[in-house]
Each structure stands twice: as C-alpha cells, then as structure tokens.
Amino acid sequence: MISISKSKRYYQALLGKDSDYEGIFYVGVRTTGVFCRPTCPARKPKFENCEFFATAKEALLAAYRPCQRCQPLSLPNQVSHVIQTLLKAIEENPEKRWKDSDFRKLGIDSATARRQFKKRFGMTFVEYARSRRMGLALKHIKEGNMVIDAQLSVGYESSSGFRDAFSRIMGAPPTHKNHVILKAAWIDTQLGPMIAIADETGLYLLEFIDRRGLEREVERLRKKLKAAIVPGENEILKKIEFEITNYFTGKNLFFETPLHQVGSPFQKQVWEELQKIPTGETRSYFDIAKLIGKPKACRAVARANGTNQLAIIIPCHRVINSNKELGGYAGGVARKQWLLTHEKKIQK
Ligand SMILES: [Zn+2]
C-alpha cells in the first residue's frame, strides 16, 4: 500500500506531468478504470479518484486497463507491432488463456512475444494476460460487491469478457439454492493485497493475489467442493482480516481462525508439521521430511509445501533450503524474506 503522504506527492507530480516520476508510480483512475503514467496528457483526475501503484502489474491486478493515450506499458514511442497487436487482443478478450496456436493465428512467434514483453514490462506476455484477467475477476471481490450477475453485464466495455473472467475463475453465480457458496474477501496488507475464501465454518484459502498459480488454485478448490465463490463477508472472513492485520502490525503473530485444509493425507501431514515450526524460526525441507518419519521424501515435502493454500497461517515461508538459502516462495522470495525478518523481530 502506498502511504497518504506519498500519494499526495505523487498527485502533485501527476498534476505537473513530472517526468522524474516516470517508472516510479502509475495512477489508476477510479472513475474511468484506466491507469496512466505520471506524464499522461489526458485531463487530470481528482485526488480522491486516484489510486497509486508502484508497478504496472499491481495496477492490472486492481482491474485497471492501460490508458490508450499515454500507454503506460510502453516506453514512449517504442511500442513494437507485436506488443500493440497483443495488447489489443487482450482487451478484446480478456478472459482468454493463450496457447501457441493463438499466437500463430496472429502471425506472432510466442517466444518473441515473451521476450519483448519481458524486456518492456518486466513480465512475460502470459503474466500480463493473467494479471489483467485476475484483476477483472477480483474486481468485485475488492469492492465487496455481492450483486454479481446483473452488475457484471453493465458498465464494462467488454462485459462478456469480464463475466467470463469472473465465472471461469470463481464459478458461475449460483442459480439454485442447494449450491455450495464460498465467500471471498480482499485484504490489504503491507506486502500487497490478499484474497481470503471461506464458508461459515472455516477458511479455505488465503493468498497474495499475485501469487503464481492462484487462478488454478482457486479453480481447483471450487471444483473439488462443487462450489461457487461470491464476494462477501462472514464471521470467518472478519476474523481472519482482524488476525492478519494484527500479524502485520506485529500486535499478535498467532492465528485462531478455524481452517479447512483440502488435500491428501500426506499433504495434511506436512501442513500440520509446518504449523509446529515456532514463529521466528526456520526448518529445512529435510527437517520436515524427518519429522514426519519420511526422511527420503524431501521433494514430496517441498511439493506439499508449495501447494499450501493458507499463506502465512500455515507457515510454508518458514521452510528454507538445507544450505540456509531462502529457497522458493510462491508469493515471491522478497515476501518470504520480509515475513521471516518480521517474525524474528517481533518474537524477540
Ligand atoms: Zn493516460
């Protein structure tokens, strides 16, 4: 999250079209749903309608689309034909998942697209498309908007794309009563927004919204439970929001929210062991494998660790490599480092 004082400074830079701030921030405009670079020539929005982001990816994940005028995803005057074609294709059909054959149809080589996007935007084309899709799907969760169906079909230039993006990931809104309904809420944290999914009795998922593979995780959960996910609130979501806020402020690092763990007996065994790692400490994959009595199952432990859907609460971030290197983290290694440092500091 960007602080108020920083936002005010950014807003001044925006009014002055200050090119010193190029690449430092992006601004999302709530009234139009577009995001811009600081020097955009378009009429400037009011401060209260601005939302500032450090990266273009964050703006995409918050459901903003790139401004046509200032083209925040390109260096000025340096947009290749390949990139232009692909950006246009995404806006026409944001829920699409891209296969090699789709690139061929547009006469574009997928490796070229990948390389060019990475070079220009610091993310591959597939990551860009996914961020845009997730942003659209998560928009109503962010806004806590309960009314899905009617609202999805109005107010968007690509309403069918938006509806598809939401229902493909979150499940079609329920049409009859005996449908399992899970509620999803958006939680802002110091390390970026998280999504929480729960029913009335427990929490199923807590993840950073830009986590690698989140989309498939949500789908898997939904299909397994034959559920639809709608934006909303319940006691469990209120509780986890409260606890996560306390965790980040350092007031209390412990969680009591009831959990539903969806996984195989082996995965559950690993997750249970993870929860025994004391706050502020780390273990290696090998340590965990030994503790569950399967010292040779290091790789399976690492996999089970990676499939954890309850970030922070089930502390998969406390598992590091045997050589003391951090190892991977689906939410990004920078976050892993932050969480470990935070826990160590607070536990002292
Ligand atoms: Zn603009």
Which tens digits make up the pLDDT trace of 20-68? Answer: 888 789 999 988 889 999 999 888 999 999 999 988 888 988 889 889 8
Q: Higher-confidence residue: 272 or 121?
A: 272
Span of 57-71, 230-244, 268-282 with lowest mean pLDDT: 57-71
CA dist 202 to 36, 183, 257, Å?
Answer: 39, 11, 7
Please identify every residue whose CB atom is under 5 Å from ligand 1, which is an ion: 36, 40, 42, 67, 69-70
d(CA 261, CA 265): 10
d(CA 24, CA 20): 8
For residue 26, which amino acid is it? Y
Q: Which fold has domain 1-71?
A: DNA Methylphosphotriester Repair Domain (3.40.10)
| Radius of gyration from C-alpha coordinates of the chain | 21
Statement: the pTM of the whole predicted model exceeds 0.85: no
Residue span(s) of the chain under CATH 1.10.10.10 come to 265-347
Q: Which pLDDT does position 152 carry in this prediction?
A: 46
Q: Which fold has domain 79-173?
A: Arc Repressor Mutant, subunit A (1.10.10)
316 is catalytic: yes
For residue 76, which amino acid is it? P
Span of 70-84, 105-119, 142-156, 198-212 with lowest mean pLDDT: 142-156
Residue span(s) of the chain under CATH 3.40.10.10 come to 1-71
CA dist 338 to 17, 73, 102, Å?
Answer: 34, 28, 39
- Cα 150 to ligand 1 centroid, rounded to whole Å: 29
d(CA 141, CA 309): 18
CA atoms within 13 A on the CB side of 30: 9
Binned at pLDDT 50, 70 and 90, residue 162 comes out as low
d(CA 132, CA 135): 5
DSSP 173: P
Q: Which pLDDT does position 178 carry in this prediction?
A: 58
Residue span(s) of the chain under CATH 1.10.10.60 come to 79-173
The active-site residue, picked from 50, 67, 70, 316, is 316
Q: 335 pLDDT exceeds 70? A: yes
Q: Give every CB contact of residue 4 below 8 A, 6+ residues apart in sequence.
A: none
- Cα 34 to ligand 1 centroid, rounded to whole Å: 7
Query: For domain 265-347, which architecture applies?
Result: Orthogonal Bundle (1.10)
Encode pLDDT of 309-327 as tens digits: 999 999 999 999 888 888 8
Binned at pLDDT 50, 70 and 90, residue 175 comes out as low
Q: What is the distance, to the nearest Å, from the Cα of residue 258 to the centroid of all Cα atoms in its chain?
A: 23
